[in-house]
Amino acid sequence: MLLKWTVILHTARRFYLDINLTVGLLKFVQLLDFCNSKRIPLIVGADSYAHSVLWGCEETNKRGEELEELILRFNLNVANRGGEFTFSTSRANSIIDSTLVNSLTSNSLFPRNWRVLSE
């Protein structure tokens, strides 16, 4: 199991959600539970390998549905705006990365106009 965490602020985490594992990854769910129970603002950059119209994909796949369920369960907001690709190769383009924030994250910690910039 590959899981990467990067601390940007004390409330920020980056997650790599392995394509071979379900989205309800135990450590990810534990982090969401912990932050909600302790009322800690949280910003998550998720390398999710999931497709969902919630973060700009044209369609939602099974993995996207699983992540959408976690978003609803933990009252998260999807910060992605627009349709910029977050993954691009000569063979494919997609939006598989998403930025999620919990309801405790204020505008001072995270701007509402968050978006992926084209390179």
* pLDDT for 9: 40
Rounded CA-CA distance 40/34 in Å is 8
Domain count, the chain: 1
> Which candidate, 100, 102, 119, 94, places its Cα nearest to that of 19?
94
Rounded CA-CA distance 67/76 in Å is 11
* pLDDT for 94: 74
**Residue 117 located in a structural domain:** no
pLDDT per position in the chain (119 positions), as tens? 344 444 334 455 555 566 666 655 677 888 889 888 888 888 888 877 788 888 888 889 888 898 899 999 999 988 877 677 777 778 877 777 788 888 888 666 666 777 666 66
Q: Residue 105: which residues within 8 A CB-CB, separation 6 or more? A: 11, 41, 42, 43, 77
Q: Cα–chain-centroid distance for residue 1?
A: 18
**Residue 48 located in a structural domain:** yes
Stated pTM of the model:
0.74
Q: Which amino acid is at 115?
A: R
Q: Tell me, what CATH number does 81's domain have?
A: 3.60.10.10
